[in-house]
Amino acid sequence: MFECRFCEGGDLLTRLAAVNQFTEPKAARILQQILGAMDLCHKKNIVHRDLKLENILFEDSSADSTIKLIDFGQSRVINSEEENEGFTGSVLLYCE
């Protein structure tokens, strides 16, 4: 069911920091993959509950690398009648 694989391309936060911004086609490709992964999870009644840039990895260091969604530690399987209540995920602190 689960597959372990080393993703040598780093996370989305690190890659974004390195280039400062993505081109529109590059951003669209990444977002399409993220939404595809989330769609698959939701079809299997899995709610990730900690989606952030650090939990999106690139399989390799190529410019067109496939992304992988990781860290399902906060995830939850829910049925269609159940509401996902409460707050969960990472606390983010921003200092200027």
- Catalytic residues, by residue number, are 50
Distance, in Å, from the CA atom of 30 to the CA atom of 24, rounded to the nearest integer, reads 10
The β-bridge partners of 16 are none
The β-bridge partners of 46 are 77
**Sign of torsion, CA 1 65 34 17?**
positive
Cα dihedral 54, 57, 72, 43 in deg (nearest 10): 120
User: Tokens in use for 40?
Assistant: 């698959």
User: Tokens in use for 84?
Assistant: 């996902």
